[in-house]
């Protein structure tokens, strides 16, 4: 069952040439949630690639330069390369003229290579809907991006999530991956001795590589974090969909005392 209620407003709605964030785009720290910011930029590039028939999104990287305010945002896309099987795009996000985030993505047109078909049968689809809801988030005093997500915990280190409302008013599969991959650090933290955290842990980037388009609405994230006593860290997550592994995500984490 697809949990998205398409009658609900997306996390971001169009307002002319701008985007208006819904209250559920907010993050736990200042500004919008990183998964919402990265999701919007990636979705904008996915839409352009679909219009131009540039193929499947295979990788995207987002740099978050400063907190994004809960106000009108503008995206602009530059085509770095098109032609043949590969297209590369760059996108920027601005608020009131100020640069907030910058992203790049690569799209590839698939071809048929039957000699690479897997001999083994594809695994049966996995439905995480029976798993318990991830409860580590705890009580919240305000609405955040997590209110737009349905997150489940398999008890073995993997969190599964699907959107409760669309990210944008069109299909954006890789943007949905970013919505959950960006949460690798809190997913990891919630199973360690460091929960509840004694520091802030914003990530300044998120990079996703996938081997194929995701199938279904569920995205699985199995994170590992490597943090150092100098306040620097890395979160590296394995990514899954309902049919199995699809890729990896990495984030640079900046630990900040409360």
**Which DSSP string do the residues of 133-171 spell out, in sequence order?**
BP-TT---SS--GGGGEEEEE-SSS-EEEEESS-SSSS-
Share of the chain above pLDDT 70, in %: 93
pLDDT value of position 138: 52
pTM confidence score:
0.93
pLDDT surpasses 70 at 120? no
Q: What is the mean pLDDT of residues 224-232?
A: 94
pLDDT value of position 197: 86
Cβ atoms of 208 and 60 closer than 8 Å: yes
- Taking each continuous run of H as one helix and of E as one strand, the counts in the chain are 3, 14
Provide the angle, in degrees to the nearest 10, between the axes of the packed helices 173-181 and 34-52.
Answer: 160
pLDDT value of position 45: 98
55 against 16, higher pLDDT: 55
Tell which phi-psi region holds residue 211, choosing left (phi > 0), alpha (psi between -120 and 50) or beta: alpha
- Which run of H or E residues covers position 233? strand 232-241
């Amino acid at each position: 069952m697809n949990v998205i209620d398409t009658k609900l407003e997306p996390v971001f709605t169009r307002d002319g040439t701008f985007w208006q964030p819904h209250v559920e785009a907010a993050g736990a720290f200042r500004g919008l949630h990183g998964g919402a910011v990265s999701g919007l930029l990636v979705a904008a590039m996915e839409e352009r690639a679909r219009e131009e028939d540039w193929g499947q999104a295979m990788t995207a990287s987002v740099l978050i330069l400063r907190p994004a305010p809960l106000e009108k945002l503008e995206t602009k896309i530059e085509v770095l390369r098109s032609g043949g099987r590969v297209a590369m795009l760059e996108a920027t996000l601005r608020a009131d003229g100020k640069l907030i985030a910058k992203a790049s993505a690569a799209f590839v047109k698939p071809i048929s290579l039957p000699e690479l078909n897997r001999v083994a049968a594809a695994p049966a689809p996995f439905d995480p809907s029976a798993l318990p809801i991830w409860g580590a988030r705890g009580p919240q005093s305000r609405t955040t991006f997590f209110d737009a997500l349905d997150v489940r915990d398999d008890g073995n280190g993997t969190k599964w999530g699907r959107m409760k409302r669309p990210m944008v008013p069109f299909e954006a599969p890789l943007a949905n991956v970013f919505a959950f991959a960006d949460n690798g650090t809190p997913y990891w933290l919630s199973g360690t001795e460091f929960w509840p955290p004694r520091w802030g842990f914003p990530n300044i980037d998120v990079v996703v590589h996938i081997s194929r388009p995701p199938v279904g609405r569920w995205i699985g994230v199995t994170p590992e974090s490597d943090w150092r006593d100098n306040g620097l860290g890395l979160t590296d997550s394995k990514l899954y969909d309902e049919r199995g592994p699809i890729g990896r995500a990495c984030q640079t984490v900046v630990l900040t005392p409360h």
